[in-house]
Structure 1
Amino acid sequence: MTVTFPLTGEPLALDLLNTESATGDLVADPAGLAAWLAAQAGRLTPVAAVGAAEVSAVQAVREAARPALDAARRGEGPPAGALRVLNEALAAAPSYRVLAWTEEAGTVASAYRTAEPARRLAAELAEAAAELLTDPRVGQVRACEAHDCVLLFLPAHPRRRWCVASACGNRARVARYYARHKGDTPV
């Protein structure tokens, strides 16, 4: 089975939340998580082997990030339990910066975490959730307006209504067209 992700390229925390789509949990097993991590190449520290521990860690962060984001979008304080889970993930694999020199980029600073892969991955995703929750634009995060879609996005344009215009947007436009012209067809 090939897993395809309906929406990537949003802030990392939204990409994580969007792994739970209307069709199910896209990171429910190691193969699904490995595919999602491949789709996020360059945004997370690579994980050599994805197993049940990594799946469990990612799902725990996602399940804590969702109610925290829902509250933040409403301008409310996040649930204490969600913050506890996110803070525990951050504390389990603290990061530190390492400076290096390259001819191409000059001095660069990279974050490193010393922890087992599952904890490191959970910490990186919890950090992404923290960045989104503290972003002044968190109230602008929207849910796709398509009736059968549960994906979230941060619109670059205030008129954006769908997660992917060529998918959900087209389905919505076709549905409106058929609804308007339903009575015009001769029997």
Structure 2
Amino acid sequence: MKEESKFPLITGNIALDLVNTELVRRGQRHDLLHSEGELLEWLKLMREQGCFYELLLDEAEEQIHFIFPDLINFRALLRANFEAIADGKAISDLILSLLEDRIEQAPFIYKLHNNKLLSLPIGSIGRKIISIIALDVLKLIEANKLQKLKKCSNPDCVLLFIDETGRRKWCSMKICGNRNKAARFQQKKFENS
């Protein structure tokens, strides 16, 4: 039986999953990446999800203390922009320029590894990781998915997701949807007694 992750992997996109490493529990905001060890754990999980290559993980482990502050700052920048987009604002030219700049700082090359062609950024490991995440955001924009970005309908939840159907309300049924259903059931039960 697979152990559940402490990270809410509800999007399948490394950029959104990074932003969603901040969440609310019992009314208080929690940072799931408050240490270098947790960032490394998250990177390993992203590798398992196919968002991050094994080739980069060893380098990340060795340099995690350099990576940590830059990645946390990048997450804050993404969160601010993603929340604005979820609130109906257009994708700013400034964020597009910034994402392109991050990729230019660690441009991609191709390598054959285990008979698989990999697109790998070059440069320092911190810049490589940010380049991968920036590319993910640009791919979301290209596919018109970022325009479908939503906030969870639970006012206490800060998780973001892409609403492909136009009907999704919750970050996940498992996280907020079931809580809402249980609360409605309890309310009905109370009203009927």
Change (3 A) 1:83 1:9: closer
Matched, 1:159 2:167: yes
Q: Contact conserved, 2:36 with 2:64, CA < 8 A, in 1?
A: yes
For residue 175 of structure 1, report the CA deviation from its aligned partner: 1.0
Q: Distance in 1 between matches of 2:8 and 2:176?
A: 10
In the alignment, which residue of structure 2 is the partner of 1:34?
40
For residue 147 of structure 1, report the CA deviation from its aligned partner: 3.0
**1:63-82 matches, cutoff 5 A:** 63-73=76-86, 74-78=88-92, 80=94, 82=95
In the alignment, which residue of structure 2 is the partner of 1:24?
30
Q: Distance in 1 between matches of 2:190 and 2:83?
A: 37
% identity of equivalent residues: 25
Q: Distance in 2 between matches of 1:30 and 1:55?
A: 6
- Larger CA deviation: 71-80 vs 48-57: 71-80
Equivalent AA in structure 1 for residue 180 of structure 2 = A
Unaligned runs of 5+ in 1: 103-107
Select which of 182, 187, 192 maps to 1:179: 187
Q: Distance in 2 between matches of 1:94 and 1:119?
A: 9
- Larger CA deviation: 32-41 vs 52-61: 52-61
For residue 153 of structure 1, report the CA deviation from its aligned partner: 1.2
Q: Contact conserved, 2:14 with 2:133, CA < 8 A, in 1?
A: yes
Equivalent AA in structure 2 for residue 96 of structure 1 = I
Q: Distance in 1 between matches of 2:78 and 2:142?
A: 12
Select which of 27, 40, 57 maps to 1:47: 57
Unaligned runs of 5+ in 2: none
Select which of 110, 118, 121 maps to 1:97: 110
Change (3 A) 1:69 1:179: same
**Matched position secondary structure for 1:136:** coil
Matched, 1:56 2:62: no
How many correspondences in the alignment? 178
Cα displacement string for residues 60-89 of structure 1 (whole angstroms, at most 9, x for unaligned residues): 222222233334442524273x44543332
For residue 100 of structure 1, report the CA deviation from its aligned partner: 6.9
Is the radius of gyration larger for structure 1 or structure 2?
Answer: 1
RMSD between superposed Cα atoms in Å: 2.6
Q: Contact conserved, 1:93 with 1:113, CA < 8 A, in 2?
A: yes
For residue 101 of structure 1, report the CA deviation from its aligned partner: 8.3
After TM superposition, the score normalised by the length of structure 1 is 0.80
Select which of 107, 112, 116 maps to 2:124: 116
Q: Distance in 2 between matches of 1:77 and 1:158?
A: 19
- Larger CA deviation: 6-15 vs 170-179: 6-15
